[in-house]
Structure 1
């Protein structure tokens, strides 16, 4: 069943605002925290003892966020309804010594490739820098989030200098051809000076930084009927945004509704704030302890829990239709995907399928099945990692995209509101 067009447009406009405010995982978490605070959630410190009463709470660890509601009926063995997602996207990360000065007078920025970006999509775009910096403040330190406007560009070689480019395609050396330009003729300037000044500090006060590039172009709704949405970082801020909206609107049910947005999924998740790390497990255990859990209560709670692993998937590409399975043809605006894989690249099983279909039925949302073409293996998600770490039923879902991992991805306007409605029903249990 299609989502009301007015509701769908309001939702996509809010997603656009969230993406613009979130050029990095640190910004995505900060914007999520701001929205949760406005909705009455309270931030907790991991170094302090937690005392939980009915209401909403959240915890931030670097680029990851965990948020939840404690219902009036919650007890030591109450299970969880978990939405899992991730805050990071493929990009370029500043190297420790980023200033490059060429013999021809160009000033460039040394970057590492983060994740698996579609490299050619980053060419000839105005790029900004954003992230966190650690500043010396007397004998202490402070962390600041910074964001520049358009500052860099990775210029493509003109076809006059590469006559074969339109026949054999763009071939990029990952070191030589992906270095952005940010100035010319001023060898005295340093990109680090620019970053420090944004934090109100001098270069000598800049102790550390986690800075990445982002495309400064704003999201856009397009199509003859405004049915499409283009933006960077839809993988996977579309899922984080939907999870935030669903958690804020969730009705009280028999479980504890919880959203986790991990960092570092695009590089394997094996970090202290990634899905392979302990953050979710620690928070679940601490919630139980704050509710009086003892003995087998925590294990009982896990046994009664289920996780919705929300990450984007692939719609059938109109120019490459043979890359999908002949019997599974998901399209934009056809509803969120249920993702299934025989070798467990997705964690979905029969129990998870049933839970997802029940949620979609309650929400009046149509779901589409995604299964890979056997000749085109799929990627993976946080789903199998979460299922392995916690031993809970996990089902992989997500909105369909075209141009995944491009600097600018493409989604359907209807699908974002649809998956949010299904998530809301899932959390209510």
Structure 2
């Protein structure tokens, strides 16, 4: 049960190397479940009992399951994010080194751990805007082979490397693409061939590096799983499964997956945008509800902000709070912060604890050390536009923001069960 769930989650992640691919994977699952796609640029025709989804920028998605009895309705919302730290390929993408190498010119996206990106097989994926006749078409591309690598400098040339090194992303982190037979222009030529189009018809590219290493289930009792992008596609996958399983005829169930959390969410498709508010408002109006009914619904709504949490590190247990610390395979994490980086409070914590009790799922609590700044997530950012009761939760993991992260084999299942109970 636990292993099969983790394997299914890892398969989803393997097919989702960028936020664009993650949303495409989500769409395929929703289409298979009979959900109807809505367009922000067209009038919505919606009805009680309907199932819908809408995307923005092809990298954020909101799905809705509308109850049949909405006399006193509310929104049950689960939110996660589709992006992960990586390296984005710049517009003028090729750099020549002494006529012998071609590197790809990249820049960091999000706050990644740099060291694990060295000496491992990488490739390129993302979206490309192609001109077809008189219109532009967005096309997904995933180069499905070992394509590039970021080589380390040998210890013989940097004897102090193991004493600590600050990486310069413009110098140290550029991937090697080709040797002396490679020429400038070969990269775009390769992308055109992947898409079956002409180079001249490529008008824009949002391309990123992705890690080619296969997911791995390991440990003395196969209790751990490692793969790319657990933060936050583990939560996105699990909460979608709970969303699909749960039904509440007196509410509108909402699954949201936002892009750009790793760079602050302040984009048109991020949690800091109007995307969530726009969708909730439009679905409410489309169902014939007036403004007063909409705001009454918001007042009784609830959101689970799902983003992974830091497990106690076996080599550095001192990095986490002595009491409010969490471990893999021991349950869903409720995150709290006195400075309000997380939305959890006494009320929302109590509500979620009861949800987990009903689901038979264990719960843990995380707070940062008081002398150490932690990260933030999308919950309190989204709340600046749609203010509802909210709790910040996640699944415990190691090596957050590495290209190869580690989590517990049981925790994906726990999240599915808890979100199914929430949506029910």
TM-score, normalised with respect to structure 1: 0.96
TM superposition shift of 1:254: 2.8
The equivalent position to 2:88 in structure 1, one of 86, 93, 101, is 93
- Post-superposition Cα deviations, 1:29-74, rounded to whole Å, max 9, x if no partner, equal 0010000111111111112211212131111112001001011112
Deviation at 1:87, TM superposition (A): 0.1
Is the Cα–Cα contact under 8 Å of residues 84 and 307 in structure 1 kept in the other structure? Answer: yes
Cα distance in 2 for partners of 1:139, 1:112 equals 32
**Residues 39-78 of structure 1 mapped to structure 2, 5 A cutoff:** 39-53=33-47, 54-62=49-57, 63-75=59-71, 78=73
> Is the CA contact (8 Å cut-off) linking 1:100 and 1:110 kept in structure 2?
yes
Query: 1:357 aligns to what?
Result: 353
The CA deviation at 1:425 is 0.9
Does structure 2 conserve the Cα–Cα contact (< 8 Å) formed by 1:386 and 1:394? Answer: no
- Name the Cα RMSD after superposition: 1.1
Does 1:215 pair with 2:211? yes
The 1-side partners of 2:357 and 2:252 are apart by 21
Residue of structure 2 in register with 1:4 after alignment: none
C-alpha contact (below 8 Å) 1:85/1:239 kept by paired residues: yes
Preserved contact between residue 120 and residue 170 of structure 1 (Cα < 8 Å): no
TM-score (norm 2): 0.97
SS at structure 1 position matched to 2:20:
helix
Residues of 2 paired with 1:252 and 1:37: CA distance? Answer: 20
CA distance in 1, matches of 2:265, 2:112: 17
- Contact between 2:326 and 2:396, CA under 8 Å: does it hold in 1? yes
Structure 1 residue 256 displacement after superposition: 1.3
Q: Please report how far the alpha carbon of residue 188 of structure 1 lies from its aligned counterpart in structure 2 after TM superposition.
A: 4.7
- Partner residue, 2:31: 37
Q: How does 1:375-390 map to 2 (within 5 A)?
A: 375-390=371-386
CA distance 1:193–1:57, change in 2 (3 Å): same
Q: 2-side partners of 1:226 and 1:254: how far apart?
A: 41
**Is this contact kept in 2: 1:92–1:212, CA < 8 A?**
yes
Return 5+ residue gaps in structure 1 as ranges: 1-6
Check the 8 A contact 1:129/1:212 in 2, yes or no: yes
User: Counterpart in 2 of 1:3?
Assistant: none
2:271 aligned residue: 275
**Aligned partners of 1:22 and 1:238: how far apart in 2?**
11
Q: 1:292 maps to what in 2?
A: 288
Q: Is the 8 A contact 2:84 2:110 kept in 1?
A: yes
Equivalenced residues, count: 420
Equivalent residue, structure 2, for 1:317: 313
